Amino acid sequence: MPYINKFITVARSQKAYEILINLGFKMREAQRLIDKGRLLCDGAVVSEKNAVLSGEICLIDYEMNPRGLSPIFECDEFAVFDKPSGVLSHPNGRRCEYSLNDEIWHLYGREAAVTHRLDRETSGLIVVSKNLAAQKELKAMFESRAVKKRYVALAGGEICEPFIVDAKMDLASDYDDVKMRMQICENGKAAVTEFEPMEYFADIDATLVRAVPLTGRQHQIRLHLFHVKHAIIGEPLYGLAKERIIKILDGKMSEMERINLTGASRLLLHADEIEFKFRGRKFHIKSKFDVRDEFYRLAKTKFEF
């Protein structure tokens, strides 16, 4: 597990923040760790930075477990990774066994951070800041839609012409334990996506499409394609019964059962290109992943058994 209880020291009437600063943490980092309940004294969570502590001090720390994922582009301020499907953008709790953080903290230290998110099953380009200043700038750019992103998806059925989906969306009222499931709704937030067909595969009745989100809602491309009855092959949420959704999310469905149910062993959505201007320089980065052939191969599997 990446989160472990790490023994630090035995404190004798020392303030909590001083203990962390003596270990090399900056005040801001010390405050963040205490706010997140990561500092323990004799097993009890320390909640105040000025608390005077005496006893055995432990820190719930993130133990990195890198697997050798390297960036496809980097400069002094940021790097771009081609995230594989199935990898979390960042840890989702203390039981998380691996995420992109394992790689970026190993390479660049703990100030490094992802500046936007991709769903776990979505593969493709993700931008990582190497320091706090770059992180602030890059996150602001993503939030203001100053970054242009292009995705490629393999959608069910034949799509012959480009089209635009302009359909508001928001959290489903009954999403509860089925994660962040979204819905189309009149009172939701504006969501617009441009779609363009790239290639139709008659033998699997699916179309490779390019998707350009003009807004940045969670699950936007996925929900918009489902809304127009061209759900992405491998979709684990939309269109499935709750029991099956939970089985997929909990990793309790076999690969073949998942393929037979959704059409593929993973969601066939990939963040393929990213374009932005940073500190006076233009960047246009393209994924190295062979989307066409890989998505076709994954979808074809269902028809080979």
Handedness of CA 283, 117, 294, 79 (dihedral sign): positive
Residues 146-186: tens digit of each pLDDT: 999 999 999 999 999 999 999 999 988 766 655 568 999 99
All residues at 6 or more sequence positions from 40 whose CB lies less than 8 Å from its CB, including other chains: 5, 46, 57, 58, 59, 60
Q: How many domains would you assign to the chain? A: 3
All residues at 6 or more sequence positions from 136 whose CB lies less than 8 Å from its CB, including other chains: none
Write out the H or E segment, with its range, that includes residue 260: helix 255-262
> Which amino acid type is present at position 179?
K
Boundary of a domain, candidates 62, 88, 107: 62
The reply to whether 82 belongs to the active site is no
All residues at 6 or more sequence positions from 6 whose CB lies less than 8 Å from its CB, including other chains: 58, 59, 60, 61, 63
**One domain, residues 76 and 104:** yes
Task: Return the higher-pLDDT residue of 271 and 33.
Answer: 271
Question: To the nearest whole number, what is the mean pLDDT of the chain?
Answer: 92
pLDDT for the residue numbered 1: 46
Residues 231-276: tens digit of each pLDDT: 999 999 999 988 899 899 888 999 999 999 999 999 999 999 999 9
Pairing of strands 123-129, 269-278: parallel
**One domain, residues 107 and 250:** no
Name beta bridge partners: 275: 148, 284
**One domain, residues 136 and 124:** yes
Rounded Cα distance, 155 and 163, in Å: 14
pLDDT at 3 over 80: no
**One domain, residues 174 and 104:** no
**One domain, residues 137 and 206:** no
Contact of 58 with 4, CB cutoff 8 Å: no
Boundary of a domain, candidates 118, 144, 170: 144
Rounded Cα distance, 43 and 55, in Å: 9
Catalytic residue among 82, 102, 119, 272: 119
pLDDT for the residue numbered 63: 80
**One domain, residues 122 and 222:** no
pTM, rounded to two decimals: 0.87
**One domain, residues 152 and 139:** no
**One domain, residues 210 and 297:** yes
**One domain, residues 156 and 123:** no
**Residue 95's pLDDT band (cuts 50, 70, 90):** low
**One domain, residues 265 and 160:** yes
**One domain, residues 194 and 287:** yes
Pairing of strands 269-278, 206-213: unpaired
Boundary of a domain, candidates 22, 45, 62: 62
Which CATH number is 140's domain given? Answer: 3.30.70.580
Which CATH number is 190's domain given? Answer: 3.30.2350.10
Poorest-confidence range of 25-29, 51-55, 270-274? 25-29
Residue with tokens 């684990």: 236
Full residue range of the structural domain in which residue 120 is found: 71-144
**One domain, residues 102 and 86:** yes
Which CATH number is 23's domain given? Answer: 3.10.290.10
Helices (H) and strands (E) counted in the chain, each on its own, are 8, 16
Name beta bridge partners: 9: 57
